[in-house]
Structure 1
Amino acid sequence: MTLYPVETGNFKLDGGAMFGVVPKTIWSRTNPADGNNLIDIAARSLLIEDGDRLILIDTGIGNKQSDKFFSYYHQWGNHNLDNSLEKLGFHKDDITDVFMTHLHFDHCGGSVQWNKNKTGYEPAFKNAAFWTNEDHWRWATEPNPREKASFLKENLLPMEAAGQLKFISRPTPLDGQSFVKNSELGFDILCIDGHTEKQMIPHINYKGKTLVFMADLMPTVGHIPLPYVTGYDTRPLLSMDEKATFSKQAVEKDFVLFFEHDAHNELCTLKNTEKGVRLNELFSFKEIFH
C-alpha cells in the first residue's frame, strides 16, 4: 500500500463560522484572518494505491459551480485535482473507488462534472464506485433547512443515476463509538454524528502507524481543543463528546492525524497536558512517511 496526499484546491471561509463560539482573539492565533474575516482552508484529499485498487478519499469542491458560487469561497493558489493526480502519475480514469467522508459540497463536489456539451452532469471518475453510507445518503438527499445549502443535488444524484453509488456496511458500536471494521475498502471507519449525520472518518494502518483522515471532526490544528467546533456542526455538544473520545484514543494509540482543511499543516500527533489534549508535533507527509 502507498498513500499520497492530493491537493484539490484552496479556498477561504469565515473564521467565525469555522470556530463557532470561540472568540476571534483566540482562534486567530492559529488561523489568522484577512480583512474580511476569512481564513485559509485547504481541500486535501488522500489517494490510496493498494494492489489493483486506487482509492480517493474526498474530492474537494470541483469546478462546475457558477462564478457567483465561487465568489463566496474565494479560491486561491494553483492546486486542482487533475493536476495533482497527474503529478503523481495518475488520471481520474484510473480511480477505482471514491470514498466520501460526507456529502457537503467541499468534500464531494469534485466527484461530479459537466458532461462534454455542458448540458448536464456526469461522474468525474467514470470507472469508480462512489462510496457513502445509506443513513448519510438519505440525510443528504432529503436535507434539513440548515444543511440544504451544503448538499447540492448536482453533486449527488448523477452518481446514483450512473449506477456507480455504493453504500458502506452499517457501523457497529465499539469502545463507545460506531465503527465499521475491515470495511469493503480495506480500512476501518469511525462514524460520527456531531457535524452531520454519519460522517465517516477513515483509520488507515500504514507503515506501522494509524493514519486518521480527519475530515470535519477536526478540520485544522486550531480545532484540537474540545470547545473549538465549527458553527456548521448540526449537534455541537455531540461533536465535543465525539472529539473527546477520539482525542483520548489518539493520544493512547499514537494516531497520526491527517488534516483535510488545514492549508498550512498536513499531519500532527496529540498529547495530554494540564489543559487537556493539545498539539504534540507537526509533520509534513514526507517527514513521517518517507
Structure 2
Amino acid sequence: MPKSLSAFVIIGLLFTNCLTIAFFSYKNLSAEPVMQQGETVAKVGDVEITREEWMNRLEQQYGKMTLKDLINDKVIDQLAEEYDIEVDEEEVTRESTYFNTMYGMNPSENFSEDEWKDEIKRVIILEELLTKDVAIPEEDMQRYYEENQHLFTVPDTYHLAHILVKTEEEAKQTIEELEGGSSFAVLAMERSLDEFTSSQGGSLGFVSLKNHTIPTAYEDVLAEMEPETWSDPIKLEKEYAILYLHEKIEGQSWGYEEVKDQIRRKIALEQIETPISASEFWDDLEVEWFYGEQR
C-alpha cells in the first residue's frame, strides 16, 4: 500500500529525535537535580563514573546528531518567519491521526503532546519550504485524490494496552489492585507475561479491527468499553488478559479541499530531487557549526 510521504518524513524525524530525547529530554533535564562538575553519577564497586565521562560519551555518540537537530529546528523556525508560513492546527491533528492509525505507534511514549505537535508542524513547514516554488496543476491534484482514496480515510482505531497472566485468579487480583488505585502501566511492567509490551506498560499502540492484529476475544470486548477503562478477565488460549482502552479514534474521511495542500506538497516532493532535510538551507542562512564542512 502506498504510504504518505509526510508520514515517512515524520518517522525519520521521530527516529532521530527519540534518540535525542532519550538523553536530552526537556522533561527529564528539568526533573533532575543540577549536577556539578566532577560529580559522581554512578559507582561500580569502588570505581566511580564522573559527570564528565558520562557527558563526553554522550557527545561522542550522539553529539553531532543532536546538534544537527537543534540547528535544523532553528533553520526551519527562521525560514517559516521569513516566508510567513503558518500551519493550521486542523492539519496537525489530521497528520497525527493519520500517523497513529496507519502506523500503530504511540508518539506519547517519547514526546509530550506539545512536542509531538511541534514535530509535525516542523515537518509540514519543511515540506512547504522545499516545494514553495513548485506549481502543481489542479487537475493533477484532483486525480491523485481520486486515485488514492485509501490515503485519506482511516478506520476506527483503538489505543490499547494489556496485561497477560497465567490464571483467572491472577487476573481478578490484578483488577482488584486497579480498582484500589494501582497504575495499569506499573502492573503490566511488574507481572505481564507479554515480554514485548510489559516494558512499555503493556502498550499495544494504536490498532484497527480492520487489520486483525489483536485476538478476536479483544475485538468482542472493545465494543463495550469506554476510554480510560479496563476489561474483566478475558480468556485466551493459554492465558488470561486484562485490556485497557486509552482512547478511541473514530474512523473518518477527508475531502479534497481539506487535504489539497498536503497533496500538492507530496506531488511536488516527488518531482524535485532535493533531499528532505533542512540542511539544504544551511548555506542560505550561513550556518556555521562545530563539525565544519561535515553535514
TM-score where L is the length of structure 2:
0.23
Structure (1 or 2) with the larger CA radius of gyration: 2
TM-score where L is the length of structure 1:
0.23
The structure with more helix, counted as a fraction of residues:
2
Higher relative contact order (CA 8 A, sep 6+): 2
